[in-house]
Structure formats: structure tokens, C-alpha cells
Amino acid sequence: MRRATIADVAREAGVSPSTASVVFSGKTPVSEATRGRVLAAAASLGYTGPDPRAASLRRGRSGIVGVVFEEYLGAAFLDPVKTLMMDGLADGVAPLGAGLLLLRDDIAGSGASLTTAPLDAAVLIGCSGHLRASLDVVRARGIPVVVVEGDAGDDVPRIGLDNREAQRQAASHVCTLGHRRVAVVALPLSGGWERGWMPDDARITVDVTRERLAGAREVFPDARVWAAAGSFIAEGLEAGRALFADEAERPTAVLAQSDLLAAGVIRAAEEAGLRVPEDVSVTGFDGIAVDGLAPYELTTLHQPAAEKGRAAGRAVTAMIEGGQAASIQFTCTFREGNTTGPRPGEPGAAR
């Protein structure tokens, strides 16, 4: 037995299909009487509304926005910043009445792919090389696309962040406090997951990492850099242990490229018997609330993550509706917490 279609409903109600259609879409006024008859007929046939597949073919829209991650889906949501961004994105596409379809950017994968999903638009997240291929696929399909935190060509709107300037600001703050021996704990340098001291000739393929590092280097050109394998507290802990292992080389301030890393570094400091910020200052990046870090309040750069998502959503909305979307650069705001202080031994330093 077939499912009822709108034609069945119309017949049952004694009206034409178009009238029935209009009752459901509300695009045209319908008399209360016919409206009632149609609804009743629908109910009696168990018709629950237009088939989305047919509707989307007819209108040329699916109501679906693809969100493309460069990593395993689960990993994407381990990062609070991405989580917040998703929230914002959900908001941003709400006017479209669109839903978010999770996609990975491994083209080969057997799952739903960029090539076959009924997308109205796509949002690419991240910065790796892979992204390039995804971008080509989407553009070939003629689907509007926006890139967040990544480098696409000129004609693709990007939602960005002043990573470099922001990190420079933090570095400068630390410099003002008198610190000279400073280390950087960086996010991953590339798609791989290597961890360790960064060699001088390292190639950094991840935009965010590169930009933030450049910002730090503007103030501390010679800072040693430890590259983490991901943005996790545990990674920060590992980094911190390496940083604090050698008494002689021990930095008096650490610039971490994410709040989670910073939290780990602080934990490592405690472990090593160092007080924060009396013995060592630590800065983060992102301005998220790190669960369970209290009573510390990180000195950090607050980035408008949800706002970024919202902007991405608005951008694709605009493009879907035939408009142009411009690239947007967001700026971080510096927030001084209680994890940075004067260099030990500096005038004004505690003890």
C-alpha cells in the first residue's frame, strides 16, 4: 500500500492538488472552509505533509547546509571552539530553515560525500591541504561555499580571525611584565600528529598555528616552540613537562596557542612545584571556559567563536539567496586573568 500523496488528499477533500498544496505551504490565502476539509482529509489518510524529496526537487533547495571537517567527526567536537562555532552556525542558518549535515573531507570515504549530498551550501572548517580538494568538488557543483579559518582562493568568502595580531598582543603583555625567557606551546603544525620541539626548518601547514606563532615571534623571535599533537589538556601537560624539565632552560612565561594547552601547562607547573603566576606565567588562546580549571582564570585572547559560526551561517544564507558574501575578519579581545604576573625577581614581583 502506497503512502498517500498530496493528490490523494486533494481528491479526498474534493479540491484540486494545487489548492491542497497551498494549504500546506501557506503561500496563498485559502478559505477557512476548504482549509479545514483538506486538513481533515490529510488526517484521515495519514498524510503528514509534502514529501521533502519532491519538494526540494521542485524548489531547487534541500534546506541542508553541509559542514565539512578535516578530521574524524568525533575529534571535531572535542574542541570547545568548534562546538561553539557549530552553535553559532546553527543560529546563522536558522533563517533558511536549514539543517546541518556533518561531512568529513576524505573524498574517498564510503560515507555520504560532498559529491552526492543534496546541499544548498557548504561550510569548510579548518586549514589543511585536504580542504583544497573538497573545495574543488563543491565549487564544481556550483554550490555556495564559505571557509572558516582556512585559506581558500580569493573568490571564496572566508571567516577569519586576527590570529597573528592577537597573539602578538599577548606576547607583548608578557614582555611588558619583564619576561624574556619565553616558550611557545603550539597547536599541531600539520595534519600529522607529531609532538615535540619544533625544528627550525619545520613546515607549518596549519594556518592557525603559523599565524599565532608569527605573532609570538614578533615579540620573541627566539622563543623555543613545543608543538602539541592536538588541543587537549593532556597535550599541554606533556608540553609543560618538557618545558619545565630542564631547570636551566626553564621559561618564566609560556604562550600556549589554546586554552586547553594552557590548562595542561599550568597543571604541569603545579606538578613541578612551580606557582602560577609567581614562578611562571601562562597565557592561553580562545577564551573558552576550561572545565575545572578554577581557581585559575587564564590570561587569554577571547575569540568570538560562536560569532564566527553565525557569520558563516549568514554568509551562506546570503549566497543561497543570490547575494554576495564578503570575507570577514574577527578580532580577539585580550583578557587578563590571574595566570600572568611579573617576571620572578622583577621589581614588583611577589616575594
Partner DNA sequence: TTGTACGCGTTATCAG
Partner DNA sequence: CTGATAACGCGTACAA
Residue 190 lies near its own copies (rule: CB under 8 A) = no
SS3 100: strand
Residue 234 lies near its own copies (rule: CB under 8 A) = yes
Nearer to DNA, 7 or 107 (CB): 7
Residue 14 lies near its own copies (rule: CB under 8 A) = no
SS3 123: strand
Residue 124 lies near its own copies (rule: CB under 8 A) = no
SS3 46: coil
Q: Are strands 196-197 and 224-227 parallel, antiparallel or unpaired?
A: antiparallel
Q: What angle do CA 69, 75, 77 make, to 5 degrees?
A: 80
| Residue 87 interacting entry, from its own copies, DNA, none, C-beta within 5 to 8 Å by type | its own copies
What string marks each residue from 292 to 321 as x (binds its own copies by CB under 8 A) or -?
A: x-x---------------------------
Between CA 208 and CA 13 the distance in angstroms is 60
Residue 15: which of 49, 51, 40 has the closest Cα? 40
Cα separations (Å) of 169 from 26, 271, 283, 334? 54, 28, 11, 7
Residue 237 lies near its own copies (rule: CB under 8 A) = yes
Nearer to DNA, 17 or 191 (CB): 17
Backbone angles phi, psi at 79, to 5 degrees: -95, 115
Residue 275 lies near its own copies (rule: CB under 8 A) = no
**Min separation Cβ 73 and its own copies, Å:** 5
| Residue 264 interacting entry, from DNA, its own copies, none, C-beta within 5 to 8 Å by type | its own copies
What string marks each residue from 42 to 61 as x (binds its own copies by CB under 8 A) or -?
A: ----x-xx-xxxxxxx--x-
Supply the DSSP string of 188-219, one letter for each residue. Answer: PSSSS---EEPPTT-----HHHHHHHHHHHHH
Rg (CA), the chain: 26
| Residue 39 interacting entry, from DNA, its own copies, none, C-beta within 5 to 8 Å by type | none
Residues 61-90 that bind its own copies (CB under 8 A): 62-64, 66, 72-74, 77-78, 80, 83-84, 86-87, 90
Cα separations (Å) of 4 from 1, 19, 37, 45, 46? 9, 16, 16, 7, 7
Nearer to DNA, 32 or 200 (CB): 32
Residue 252 lies near its own copies (rule: CB under 8 A) = no
**Min separation Cβ 176 and its own copies, Å:** 30
Nearer to its own copies, 110 or 324 (CB): 110
Residue 193 lies near its own copies (rule: CB under 8 A) = no
Between CA 283 and CA 257 the distance in angstroms is 8
Beta bridge partners of 283: 255, 299
Return all residues near 317 (Cβ < 8 A) that are at least 6 apart.
92, 93, 95, 96
C-alpha cell at 140: 564544481
**How many residues line the site for its own copies (CB under 8 A)?**
64
Interface residue list for DNA (CB under 7 A):
2-3, 5-7, 14-19, 21-22, 24-25, 27-31, 33-35, 47, 50-51, 53-55, 57-60
Positions touching its own copies (CB under 8 A) are: 3, 46, 48-49, 51-57, 60, 62-64, 66, 72-74, 77-78, 80, 83-84, 86-87, 90, 93-95, 97-103, 109-113, 115-119, 137, 140-142, 232-234, 236-237, 260, 263-264, 267, 289, 291-292, 294
